[in-house]
Amino acid sequence: MKKIRVLVSTHPFAVSNPVAAEIILQQGWQLEFNPYGRKISSKELKMLLPEVDALIAGTEKIDAEVLEYADDLKLISRVGIGLDGIDWNEIKKRNIEVAYTPDAPSLSVAELTLGLMINLLRGVSISDAQMHRKNWKRFTGYELSGKTIGIIGLGRVGKKLVKLLQPFSCNILVNDINPDEQFIKTYHLTAVDKETIFRESLIVTLHVPLTGLTRNMINERVFRMMRHDAFLINTSRGQIVVENDLYAALKNHQISGAAIDVYHEEPYNGPLTEFENIILTCHMGSCTQESRAAMEIGAAEAVVDFFTGKPLKNRVPDELRITDG
Residues with catalytic annotation? Answer: 237, 266, 283
Measure the CA dihedral 269/274/275/276, to 10°: 90
Length of the chain: 325
How many angstroms separate the Cα of 63 from the Cα of each of 42, 45, 59?
Answer: 9, 11, 12
Q: Cα(40)–Cα(240) distance, rounded to whole angstroms?
A: 24
Q: Cα(14)–Cα(20) distance, rounded to whole angstroms?
A: 6
Residue type, 238: G
Beta bridge partners of 32: 7
Q: Cα(145)–Cα(154) distance, rounded to whole angstroms?
A: 21
